[in-house]
Amino acid sequence: MRRGNSLVYLTLLVSLVLSVFPLYWLFVVATRSNDVIGQMPPPLVPGGNLAENVRRLFGAEQANFALGLINSMIASIAVTVSVVFFSSLAGFAFAKLRFRGRNALLLTVLATMMVPVQMGIVPLYMVMVKLGWQNQLQAVIVPFLVSAFGVFLMRQYAERAVPDELIEAARLDGCSTFGLFVRVVSPALRPGAAVLGLFTFMSTWNEFLWPLAILEADNPTVQFSLSQLATQYYTDYTLMFSGTLIATVPLLVVFILFGRQIVSGIMDGAVRS
Amino acid sequence: MHGSPYLFIAPFFVLFALFGFFPLLYTAWVSLRSWDLTGDAGFVGLANYSRLLSDPDFWNAMLNTVGLFVLSTVPQLFFALVIAGLLNRPIRALMLFRLGVLAPIVTSVAAVAIVFGQLYSRDAGLVNGVLGLFDVGPIDWQASKGSSWIAVASMVNWRWTGYNALIYLAAIQAIPKDLYEAAQLDGAGAIKQFRAITVPLIRPALIFTVVMSTIGGMQLFTEPLLFGQGDISGGSLRQFQTVAMYMFEQSFQNFDYGYGSAIAWMIFLLTVVAGIANALIARRLRGGTQ
Amino acid sequence: MRLGKALAVTVATALLAVGCGGNATDDAAGGTVTLTVKTFGQFGYDDLVTQYEASHPGIKVKQENIAKLADYTPKLQQWLTAGSGAGDVVALEEGILVKLMGKPDQFVNLLDQGAGDLKGNFLEWKWNQALTPDGKKLVGLGTDIGAQGMCYRTDLFAKAGLPTDRAKVGELWPTWDGYLATGKRFAAAGAGVSFFDTAGPVYQNILMQQGDQTYFDRENKLIVDTNPGVRTAWDQTIKMIDAGLSGKIQMWSPAWNAGFKQGSFATIPCPAWMLGVIKDQAGPENAGKWDVARVPGEGAVRGGSFLAVPAQSKHPKEAAELAKFLTNPAGQTAAFKAKNNFPSSPQAIDDPAVSSAVNTYFNNAPVGKIFGQSAKSLQPVYLGPDNQVVGDGIGDALTAVEQGKLKPDEAWTKAISDAKRAVEK
């Protein structure tokens, strides 16, 4: 196989730079003092203020940043594990099992994704009031334990990645459907599950509107916490960006962890006929 | 012995019934009432909907949403496909590139807002600076539909291209390698292999991303809001106000909850129609199977 | 087995989260009443709250604050709609209060709680804003007001051959015509920067001086097109835009923030709270270059807030007492000292702590006197529930003129028809 030629590298390099630049700039601002925000051209070299900014960040009472990080960790992990598990189950069922009403139910799943998110806030808030879950962490976890997007993604992946012959063979061996799922399907679904896990973690971590609605500043998630760093009129950008930078680190960690899974998934089992 | 398939899908529907269905029904119920900040004034039937149909601001928001959708989906999915293809090759520093193009998803909205705000700033922005080199006058990006659409679409494309590339990549990796080997032996070059093998065989992923992009496009909210520095009316003449922004403005700024709920249901219907239409289109493109 | 572990983790985590539950109720055992105060921005109540708890042993006060008004408003809407969550004392920004006056029974009538005696503690126009037209219900007690001055750059004025002493600058513009004329002089001197940042606030200031009503009359009938005051404010603003005085910079944008340091505009109508913004944005190197003069015309105030007691509160009596305490003259003076929120109480305005306040960054400008003067000379103006919607429409129309998208007459026609459509529904 030929190695990539220079055009390929160039294109990828340009894409990389464009993709990464704002993140890098985030890092630069977090290490500087506040006068650099309006500057044109923007500063490209990191400064030495990071420790100072981080100190101010964790000292900012109104933001409760440390608690925000912890709450978001708990919520994101719980939701990710649950979504990946239940979406794999349902995705596999929709892709490979035959049952009555399958297509209709699948369309229903799809339809649920088409509901605009912002509208659900007031009625969902009412549900939370009934449950007594205002300002409780479970309010940002339980409604999201399953995801229509996840079901759809895993179904699409399962359709391609799990060959019918393998299922037939396992059934002939006397496997129950669940056993089939555990032993045959799950390994094949791993790359798709890695993608879903990545995105679910990220979207839960980045969620802002709903946590703002249901939580208060003394029990925030991380994005809510960051928004509290602003004052009504003046935004201390270095403070905010330091917080954002730290809030991004767990995402980068998950990134790298799951990224490996995708690669190892290829090594494990490119589908063979 | 054979687990019922219904058990596999039950958890999703149970939780959805509790936390998804109720808000949906409630919103529909509210949309049939006259409900603003002075409270619930009672059932008014389809009055909110007929008001909506003759509301020029709503149709303007629709136009913006569709225009933004086209500008932010077509180039995005095309580039995502190209990048996925490139990333599938045995190149050095593979992991770095693969993770790198996903960086936009991880970047916080606050940073994105500032970077793109400065790029498209009327007086001191980079884009106007570059255009100035070609004697193209400074553009007030927020002032016109065309320019604001391009700017917002670029934000959306920047954010989501890597995401879609990853989905295509996962699908490409499920294609049996021997198909490519056979084509290689037949003398097909890289691009021909891409068009004849890769694209048709990832059709489910293509349909998937088209439908997802459509749903996201119809509900576009964050990027245009950031572009306008938090102005929910999307420009002085609503140049880039999407239907989702219009719904938010009516519900949470003007406190006209009944009207906002009607808009939400219109967005829902719009998304369903557009989703189906685009899925059908994607299905017909590259219609070949093996 | 990997799956089993995953399942266990999910369940355990969910249980952990649920286990930390328990509803946050107001009453602990033993008769302590906990009052929840909901605020946005910075009201400066921390010390006051401690003081109140010390003098009221059975009462605990919990503050719940949201930094930005734009994030607070949707929460307020959902608390009122859902009938739960608004706490015991809730902060209402003027624009929202005006809307909520359309349904005053969402709030406890403070007149029933003995607030009628406190009328003299507030500027008349501020008191009237929270009073229903029939005078029978008082929805809120005033906290701060956005009393205005006109901030200007002394160095840019000097370059343009204009006086720099704030008394003399004040004499340049006793009226808005004077402001326009000064602006033209400034532009003619060729300094290369704009006279003011954007037209919206200028228009708003002129409008509030045009009599006792703006877009609505006291029967809440839309009079935006027939009220000559509105047209006057509009025409004057257009004259300024036509003279090229506007920098056309969107407020709060990064370019606007940078403008204070770079000197992109020479003047800006500045409420009391903006002084802090200017100081932070312009930086220490520009200390003394910004100063504050009086605002043109008589009396200028933009915005302000109130405290109200939601009807859903379980302790209306105690909540009303707390609200009264926080908004009494001593409370307002303390809030001014803490966070520079300009009081709406004449006694507080005259309190030496306020009236002799000077701002060192602004050349030791006697801000207490400047803002106090402008607050006191404002005549009461009736706003009407849909004031915000109409005002936003006119603001957008002005921006469209600045951007060159609409001619002034087209913009006026559009603003009027938008207003009519918004109100007629």
C315: nearest Cα among C138, C86, C2 = C86
Place of tokens 């029933």: C112
Report chain B residues whose CB lies below 8 A from the CB of A254.
none
How far apart (Å, rounded) are the C-alpha atoms in residues C207 and C214? 7
Residue B244: pLDDT above 80? yes
Give the best residue of B97, B107, B164 to mutate against chain A (max A CB count within 10 A). Answer: B107
- Within 10 angstroms of residue A28's Cβ, the number of other Cβ atoms is 18
A199-232 pLDDT, tens digit each:
899 889 988 889 999 999 999 999 899 888 877 6
Those of residues 211-250 in A touching chain C at CB distance below 8 A are 212-213, 216-218, 227-234
Q: With beta carbons less than 8 A apart as the criterion, state whether A181 and A192 touch.
A: no
Residue B252 is predicted with a pLDDT of 84
Q: By percentage, how much of chain C surpasses pLDDT 70?
A: 93
Place of tokens 């920047």: B158
CA distances from residue A272 to B168, B288, C182 in whole angstroms, order as listed: 20, 22, 82
Amino acid sitting at position B108: S
For residue C140, give the H/E element and its range: strand C140-153
Residue B37 is predicted with a pLDDT of 66
Residue C255 is nearest to which of B51, B123, B231, comparing CB atoms? B123
Stretch A151-179: mean pLDDT: 80
Residue C103 is nearest to which of B37, B123, B229, comparing CB atoms? B37
B194 HSE (CA, 13 A, CB side)? 14
Amino acid sitting at position C226: T
- A25 at interface of B, judged by CB pairs closer than 8 A: yes
Which of A33-37, A72-76, B114-118 is most confident? A72-76
Stretch C206-235: mean pLDDT: 91
C279 HSE (CA, 13 A, CB side)? 14
How far apart (Å, rounded) are the C-alpha atoms in residues B234 and B257? 20
- Record: contact B260-A113, CB cut-off 8 A: no
B253 HSE (CA, 13 A, CB side)? 17
How far apart (Å, rounded) are the C-alpha atoms in residues C331 and C371? 18
- Record: contact B2-A177, CB cut-off 8 A: yes
- A41 at interface of C, judged by CB pairs closer than 8 A: no
Residue C253: pLDDT above 50? yes
Q: Which chain C residues touch B if contact means CB-CB below 8 Å?
A: 70, 73-74, 77, 80-81, 99-100, 102-103, 106, 248, 250, 252-255, 385, 388-389, 392, 396-397, 399-400, 403-406, 421-422, 425
How far apart (Å, rounded) are the C-alpha atoms in residues C154 and B203? 67
Residue C277 is predicted with a pLDDT of 85
Report chain A residues whose CB lies below 8 A from the CB of B8.
89-90, 92-93, 97, 177, 181
Cis peptide before A250 (omega within 30 of 0): no
- Record: contact B23-A226, CB cut-off 8 A: no
How far apart (Å, rounded) are the C-alpha atoms in residues B182 and C63? 71
Residue A40 is predicted with a pLDDT of 57
Residue B98 is predicted with a pLDDT of 76
B80: nearest Cα among B165, B166, B198 = B165
Stretch B5-20: mean pLDDT: 83
A247: nearest Cα among A27, A59, A17, A22 = A27
Stretch C49-74: mean pLDDT: 92
Residue B100: pLDDT above 90? no
Residue C406 is predicted with a pLDDT of 94
Residue A161: pLDDT above 80? no
Residue A55: pLDDT above 90? no
Q: Tell me how close the Cα of B54 comes to any Cα of chain A, in angstroms.
A: 22
How far apart (Å, rounded) are the C-alpha atoms in residues B155 and B226? 10
**Mean of per-residue pLDDT scores for chain C:** 88
Burial class (CB in 10 A: 0-12, 13-18, 19+), C345: buried
Provide the whole-model pTM: 0.86
Residue C25: pLDDT above 50? no
DSSP, collapsed to helix, strand or coil, labels residue C131 as strand
Q: By percentage, how much of chain B surpasses pLDDT 90?
A: 29
CA distances from residue B179 to A82, A120, A265, B37, B60 in whole angstroms, order as listed: 36, 47, 19, 63, 49
How far apart (Å, rounded) are the C-alpha atoms in residues C173 and C194? 17
- Note the Cα A86 to chain centre separation in Å: 16
Residue A35: pLDDT above 80? no
DSSP alpha helices (H): ranges in A182-236? 186-206, 209-214, 222-227
How far apart (Å, rounded) are the C-alpha atoms in residues B155 and B68? 11
- Within 10 angstroms of residue A130's Cβ, the number of other Cβ atoms is 10
Task: Grade residue B111 by pLDDT with cuts at 50, 70 and 90.
Answer: confident
Task: Grade residue B53 by pLDDT with cuts at 50, 70 and 90.
Answer: very high
Q: By percentage, how much of chain A surpasses pLDDT 90?
A: 21
**Mean of per-residue pLDDT scores for chain B:** 85
Report chain C residues whose CB lies below 8 A from the CB of B225.
none
Between B52 and B166, the more confident residue is B52
Between A108 and A75, the more confident residue is A75
Report chain B residues whose CB lies below 8 A from the CB of C81.
257
Q: Tell me how close the Cα of A132 comes to any Cα of chain C, in angstroms.
A: 6
- Record: contact A134-C14, CB cut-off 8 A: no
How far apart (Å, rounded) are the C-alpha atoms in residues B159 and B116? 12
Cα end-to-end distance, chain A, whole Å:
22
- Within 10 angstroms of residue C380's Cβ, the number of other Cβ atoms is 13
Nearest CA in chain A to B258: A119
Residue A39 is predicted with a pLDDT of 61
Least confident stretch, A191-195, C198-202, C331-335: A191-195
Q: B: neighbours with 3+ CB pairs under 8 Å?
A: A, C
- Within 10 angstroms of residue C236's Cβ, the number of other Cβ atoms is 19
Stretch C82-98: mean pLDDT: 92
Residue C186 is predicted with a pLDDT of 94
* Encoded tokens for C234: 């509009």
- Establish whether this prediction's ipTM goes over 0.90: no
How far apart (Å, rounded) are the C-alpha atoms in residues C397 and C231? 13
Task: Grade residue C1 by pLDDT with cuts at 50, 70 and 90.
Answer: very low
Least confident stretch, A31-35, A185-189, C38-42: A31-35
How far apart (Å, rounded) are the C-alpha atoms in residues B69 and B153? 8
The alpha carbon torsion through A171, A175, A177, A181 (nearest 10 deg) reads -100
Residue B259: pLDDT above 70? yes
How far apart (Å, rounded) are the C-alpha atoms in residues C257 and C281? 6
Between A110 and B216, the more confident residue is B216
- A132 at interface of C, judged by CB pairs closer than 8 A: yes
Residue C206 is predicted with a pLDDT of 93
Residue A259: pLDDT above 80? no
C304: left (phi over 0), alpha (psi -120 to 50) or beta: left
C188-211 pLDDT, tens digit each:
998 889 999 999 999 999 998 898
* Encoded tokens for A139: 């309010």
Place of tokens 């919607």: C389
Residue C381 is predicted with a pLDDT of 85
Place of tokens 């967005």: B267
DSSP, collapsed to helix, strand or coil, labels residue C144 as strand
For residue C237, give the H/E element and its range: helix C228-242
How far apart (Å, rounded) are the C-alpha atoms in residues C423 and C386? 7
B153-203 pLDDT, tens digit each:
999 999 889 888 888 887 887 788 888 888 888 888 878 888 888 888 888
Residue B149 is predicted with a pLDDT of 96
* Encoded tokens for C356: 């002799």
Residue A262 is predicted with a pLDDT of 52
DSSP, collapsed to helix, strand or coil, labels residue B271 as helix
Q: Which chain B residues touch C if contact means CB-CB below 8 Å?
A: 37-39, 51, 55, 114, 117-118, 121-124, 140, 142-144, 229-231, 233, 236-237, 251-257, 259
How far apart (Å, rounded) are the C-alpha atoms in residues A82 and A262? 19
Task: Grade residue A36 by pLDDT with cuts at 50, 70 and 90.
Answer: low
Length of chain B, in residues = 290
How far apart (Å, rounded) are the C-alpha atoms in residues A61 and A56? 10
The rounded radius of gyration (Å) of the Cα atoms in chain B is 23
C120-153 pLDDT, tens digit each:
999 988 998 899 888 899 999 999 998 889 999 9
- Within 10 angstroms of residue B96's Cβ, the number of other Cβ atoms is 12
Supply the DSSP string of B123-187, one letter for each residue.
Answer: TT-HHHHHHHHTTPPPP-TTTSHHHHHHHHHHHHHHHHHHHHHHHHHHHHTTS-HHHHHHHHHTT
Residue B289 is predicted with a pLDDT of 42
Residue C307 is predicted with a pLDDT of 96
Supply the DSSP string of C239-303, one letter for each residue.
Answer: HHHHTT-B--PPTTSHHHHHHHHHT-EEEEEEETTHHHHHHHHH-GGGTTTEEEEPPSSS--EEE
Those of residues 64-103 in A touching chain B at CB distance below 8 A are 86-87, 89-90, 92-94, 97-99, 102
Report chain C residues whose CB lies below 8 A from the CB of A190.
none
Those of residues 127-146 in A touching chain B at CB distance below 8 A are 127, 142-143, 145-146
Residue B20 is predicted with a pLDDT of 80
How far apart (Å, rounded) are the C-alpha atoms in residues C246 and C402? 8
For residue C306, give the H/E element and its range: strand C301-308
Residue B38 is predicted with a pLDDT of 65
Residue C191 is predicted with a pLDDT of 80
- C338 at interface of A, judged by CB pairs closer than 8 A: no
B214-231 pLDDT, tens digit each:
988 998 998 999 898 888
- Record: contact C3-A85, CB cut-off 8 A: yes
Cβ neighbours for C383, distance < 8 A, ≥ 6 positions apart: C98, C129, C214, C215, C216
| CA angle in degrees (0–180, nearest 5) for C311-C316-C318 | 155
Residue C112: pLDDT above 90? yes
Least confident stretch, A16-25, A191-200, A226-235: A226-235
